[in-house]
Amino acid sequence: MFEQSLQTTEWRDAQARDGRSEEEIRARRIAAVLIAVNAVIGFAFNLLLTGGRTVPPLLLLALGLALAWYLYKLRPRAESFAIGIAILWSTLLPLLYFLRLPFAYALVQSVVIWGLAGALLLLLIGQPSRRRQALAVGLFALAFGVFVLGAVRLLR
């Protein structure tokens, strides 16, 4: 208990980096950025098209940004939590969207969620090489591009 009170943020950051390669740290931070971008996109899309009818939009935004910060700071168990949330998001949220929204809206929102889940699995499982990191970012960018095209089409 006493030792925990003496731990500074800098000390915890150094402990989190200890034993990790630069590639692992970079992959975790890329994953954190992707999670934050997805949280903001999902929040905006949810408010814009559904008025927050499906899932409380602030809950998803807060959860996504908190997870992104937790992962960016390389906290213990962050990778496991991010993988669990990605799997949960990629299954439950699309189900909710398809049950409560018109098919086209649900599909557009689900594509970006599935892109994020795939990218996170590439980044957080095993030893991600630069090639896997680039593939993960490309997958998310492709899913985001499909999302933007779908959203523009739906907003007309």
Q: How far is CA 78 from the centre of its chain?
A: 12
The neighbour count for residue 133, using CB atoms within 10 Å, is: 18
Give the per-residue pLDDT at 91.
Answer: 92
The pTM of this model reads: 0.80
60 token code pair: 């998803």
**Rounded Cα distance, 16 and 39, in Å:** 24
Give the per-residue pLDDT at 4.
Answer: 57
Residue 126: DSSP 8-state: S
Task: List per-residue pLDDT tens for the chain, 156 residues long.
Answer: 555 556 666 665 665 566 678 888 899 999 999 999 988 987 887 777 666 666 677 887 898 899 999 999 888 788 888 899 888 889 998 998 899 888 988 898 889 889 999 999 999 998 899 999 999 999 999 999 998 898 888 777
Contact yes or no for 57/47 (Cβ under 8 A): yes
30 token code pair: 């890329």
